[in-house]
Chain A
Amino acid sequence: MSRIEKTFSRLRSEGRTALIPFITAGDPDPEFTVSFMHGLVSAGANLLELGVPFSDPMADGPVIQRASERALEHHVSLLDVLEMVRRFREQDSHTPVVLMGYLNPVEVMGYEDFATAAEEAGVDGVLTVDLPPEEAHDLVQALRSHALDPIFLAAPTSNRHRLEMIASAASGFIYYISLKGVTGAANLAVDEVARKLDEIREVTDLPLGVGFGIKNAEMAATMSRIADAVVVGSTLVSVIEENASEPDKIRDKLHDLVHEMRTAMDRA
């Protein structure tokens, strides 16, 4: 059983929802990322999403774009991100790590080389935002052969046919984009999200994560009632941005925010 599967099955038996924080690797400085990852886990995160910086993050809003820009000022590459995961694994062998990024850095490294290096580093899943299942065949094969879960997005615009295609390409979990827009966008309509999650459950038994637009503990708690996982990104990245000049404070602030969300979700 993969680390991602184990995590979801343990949480399910405890009746809890996974909390998945997202941060961009190397933001605001590569030396802090591994420490932030451990801090997020100690605050109650069950799985980590680590953003791979890219020069042209087309599906991200301004907050995560700027995080990419800060990391790229330090020339953080895909190899550097894998090295961060390897260092994280020295002290944490149970928390799954999913890389989230864009295809081009992976394309340049080569699918097979990337999958080999990611497996060795201790990565568990890979979400390539600009790679729909139609174009994903070769990368999915490379990932699968290295025990890595290909994570795919589902969206409000995905019809039944697309959901089936996504379900058959994906493993680990499916990431449902809860609104039409970029990361960090406006408000969520909970009922609509719940309806769509029911529709996705008709085509898959994979756990369903919900992300894009979850801004606070209250929203995280609400979503935890209908989803198997709650993904929080822009809100955390904003904390990093606001404190970029004093990075020593970031770990504690991230901890407080994630802990608050975890507590609210467990009460829900």
Chain B
Amino acid sequence: MEKPDYRHMPDEHGHFGPYGGLFVAETLMEPLEELREAYEKYMQDEQFLTELDADLQHYVGRPSPIYHAERLSRENGGAQIYLKREDLNHTGAHKVNNTIGQALLAKRMGKTRIIAETGAGQHGVATATVAARLGLECVVYMGEVDVARQEANVYRMRLLGAEVRSVSSGSKTLKDALNEAMRDWVATVDNTFYIIGTVAGPHPYPAMVRDFQTVIGREARQQMRQMTADLPDALVACVGGGSNAIGLFHPFLEDEGVAMYGVEAAGEGLETGHHAAPLCAGQPGVLHGNRTYLMEDRDGQIIETHSISAGLDYPGVGPEHAWLKDTGRVQYVAIDDDEALAAFHTLTRTEGIIPALESSHAVAYALKLAATMKPEQKVLVNLSGRGDKDMHTVAAREGIKL
């Protein structure tokens, strides 16, 4: 087989091999075509890119540092663990890299209203934040279950002036919020820009969101070279929809010496069926505008997922990850709720860094992986978000009332 051309995916129709594409009702086809044209135009536009870079530097606080977690590495044994500190971004996660980009695009396209879906609330907060800054009306759809378990983020969004609409259909989580946002968009597409938060959805979203998130990997490549005079031996990132993972991985795809691990949520365990790991335990299908690996039953109905982390609680995954799994370039593994919680505490106690529960999945796998490697080797973990939003979840799990 010929070596895949990682840099020039997807093809012009949004396909990553058999995955991706455009699976939406006819009403959205022309609006998506307009979006694709605008995205392709502005990604070549010097003025747009300069404005984006300036915002990433002065508003988000980029570049985010890389931190050598020496104590964690020593106590864990094995390889050196480095953390890409996306948790230090404005709003506390990598999500804002993408919302800044899409909101600038929305302005260029003359849209006055922004909608978004959110699970954990990080993407909702990042969207409400940029909407507030640019003076755009903002509506965020969020499943009823997530509204209940992420109260603090709901309040943050409201403080920022966004309207949070609770979604009570289906499983009342991220996938249903996405359905509802699509329904809104199909009726309001003339004045509304839909900011999707992950590398899923119809073309051009998987490519566009990736391109806004690859700033993570571009910085990391340079920073690791400066700090260690070398590239890392392995990259580790959690995968829900997969935007932080693709953002880190993509600029390294052609570096053959760099192994990559995408960490899905095993929930209560892959064998229980209560998980959110479509790449590890699902099969290909079509949902939310693209063909990808899904959690589905034998009739093709999408099944409810489970993860302690709301941001990973999604039955699909970005189509580029589906393709990277099939090509074998990235290994996809799973970490369960208990392992993620243990890693959450370990990182907090040994380094004074409280990770988001999503990112704790990546940390947990990195600890396992590093232990099998030599001390002179290096593992770079994408610390995609901070754990402040998860205080209630972690406390409740341990029987503590805040």
Among residues 295 to 316 in chain B, which have CB atoms less than 8 Å away from a CB atom of chain A? Answer: 296, 298-303
Interface residue from A69, A78, A158 paired with B26 (Cβ < 8 Å): A158
Interface string of A99-143 (1 = CB under 8 A from B): 000111111110000000000000000000111101100000000
Verify A104–B29 contact, CB threshold 8 A. no
Give CA–CA (A132, B31) in the complex, Å.
13
Neighbouring B residues of A60 by C-beta, 8 Å? 183
Nearest A-chain residue to B283, judged by Cβ: A108
- Secondary structure type dominating chain B contacts: mixed
Verify A78–B287 contact, CB threshold 8 A. no
Give CA–CA (A75, B300) in the complex, Å.
11
Total count of chain A residues near the partner, CB < 8 A: 46
Interface string of B170-213 (1 = CB under 8 A from A): 10000110010011001101100000000000000000000000
Verify A154–B285 contact, CB threshold 8 A. no
Residue B119 CB within 8 A of the other chain? no
Quote the shortest CB–CB distance from B220 to chain A (angstroms). 35
Verify B27–A104 contact, CB threshold 8 A. no
Neighbouring B residues of A182 by C-beta, 8 Å? 183, 186-187
Verify A56–B302 contact, CB threshold 8 A. yes
Residue A261 CB within 8 A of the other chain? no
Residue A72 CB within 8 A of the other chain? yes
Give CA–CA (A107, B186) in the complex, Å.
24
Neighbouring A residues of B259 by C-beta, 8 Å? none
Residue B253 CB within 8 A of the other chain? no
Give CA–CA (A66, B303) in the complex, Å.
17
Query: Contacts A58-B25, A152-B26, A177-B26: A104 and B286 contacting too (C-beta < 8 A)?
Result: yes
Neighbouring A residues of B169 by C-beta, 8 Å? 62, 65-66, 69
Residue B289 CB within 8 A of the other chain? yes
Nearest B-chain residue to A78, judged by Cβ: B299
Verify A61–B183 contact, CB threshold 8 A. yes
Interface segment among B16-24, B153-161, B352-360: the answer is B16-24
Residue A166 CB within 8 A of the other chain? yes
Give CA–CA (A80, B176) in the complex, Å.
25
Give CA–CA (A182, B288) in the complex, Å.
15
Give CA–CA (A61, B190) in the complex, Å.
19
Give CA–CA (A120, B375) in the complex, Å.
65
Give CA–CA (A74, B24) in the complex, Å.
27
Interface residue from A107, A154, A157 paired with B286 (Cβ < 8 Å): A107
Give CA–CA (A155, B27) in the complex, Å.
5
Give CA–CA (A132, B23) in the complex, Å.
7
Quote the shortest CB–CB distance from B190 to chain A (angstroms). 8
Give CA–CA (A155, B190) in the complex, Å.
14
Verify B302–A132 contact, CB threshold 8 A. no
Neighbouring B residues of A54 by C-beta, 8 Å? 300-301
Verify B301–A135 contact, CB threshold 8 A. no
Verify A55–B170 contact, CB threshold 8 A. yes
Quote the shortest CB–CB distance from A75 to chain B (angstroms). 8
Verify B23–A135 contact, CB threshold 8 A. yes
Verify A166–B187 contact, CB threshold 8 A. no
Give CA–CA (A14, B289) in the complex, Å.
41
B residues neighboring A (CB under 8 Å) = 13, 21-31, 169-170, 175-176, 179, 182-183, 186-187, 189-190, 284-289, 291, 294, 296, 298-303
Known A157-B27, A181-B187; 15 more pairs at CB < 8 Å = A54-B301, A58-B183, A66-B169, A77-B299, A79-B299, A103-B286, A104-B286, A130-B25, A131-B23, A135-B21, A154-B26, A157-B31, A158-B30, A177-B25, A185-B187
A residues neighboring B (CB under 8 Å) = 54-62, 65-66, 69, 72, 75, 77-79, 102-109, 129-132, 134-135, 152-159, 162, 166, 177, 180-182, 185
The 6 closest A-B pairs by CB, nearest first: A108-B300, A105-B300, A181-B187, A77-B299, A155-B27, A153-B26
